[in-house]
Amino acid sequence: MGTYKLILKRRTIRVFQDKPVPFSSLKKCVNAARLSPSARNVQELEFLAVNGREQVARVNEAVRFGGIVREKGRVKGEEPKAFIAILAEKEKSSQEYTPINAGIAAEAIVLTALEQGIGSCIMGAIERERIKGILGVPNSYAMPLVIALGYPKEKPVAGKPRGKDMFYWTEKGQLHVPKRHLEEVMHRDRF
């Protein structure tokens, strides 16, 4: 599938099949992130990938999911099967660019996962210090984001906004994610 189609198809996945994610797939994701652009080519980011049951379960306790999971609670077996933590070496980091670099790396991970049939959720609502403790990350690193991964067990779709707010809604068990119209977000020549 071409990049444009992949990007259009991508939706955040929070409900996962009970099927392990091989480490080789995570490695491919991290390789894509490694080659992502970074401001001034500083490359302050490093990546920690975990797919061991126990470690994944512990990290899962320290993240907060939205969507159906938030509405209905987590069903056993549908938890993420892997995490990739994006780490930023504090000494090389900048307030201005590191969060941007982390976002770009996150998208590289998400799209590379999707190309392999793996769904994911970029996560910022996380207990950073707790996760760093679980994964043994030294204090010299910050953790801007983690990404939860697994084979999808839900098929969310992009929908038209209902009014001004951007809350999701569920219809026949399917999550709808409202997105603003192209005409509303794209300005041409002059604002």
Q: How far is the CB of 53 from ligand FMN (least distance, A)?
A: 21
Q: How far is the CB of 130 from ligand FMN (least distance, A)?
A: 14
Cα of first residue to Cα of last residue in the chain, in angstroms, is: 34
Q: How far is the CB of 74 from ligand FMN (least distance, A)?
A: 12
The label of the residue with tokens 């259009």 reads 8
Binding to ligand FMN by residue 162, rule CB under 6 A? no
Neighbours of 57 (CB within 10 A): 12
What span, in angstroms and rounded, lies between the C-alpha atoms of 151 and 57? Answer: 16
- Exposure of 128 by Cβ count < 10 A (0-12 exposed, 13-18 middle, 19+ buried)? middle
Among 16, 47, 65, 141, binds ligand FMN (CB under 6 A): 65
Among 104, 122, 128, 135, binds ligand FMN (CB under 6 A): 122
SS3 68: helix
Neighbours of 105 (CB within 10 A): 28
Binding segment (CB under 6 A) for ligand FMN, from list 35-43, 61-69, 74-82, 84-92:
61-69
In the chain, what's the furthest Cα-to-Cα distance? 54
Residue closest to ligand FMN, measured at CB: 125
Binding to ligand FMN by residue 124, rule CB under 6 A? yes
Among 27, 53, 64, 155, binds ligand FMN (CB under 6 A): 64
Chain residues binding ligand FMN by CB under 6 A are: 11-12, 14, 64-67, 121-125, 156, 177
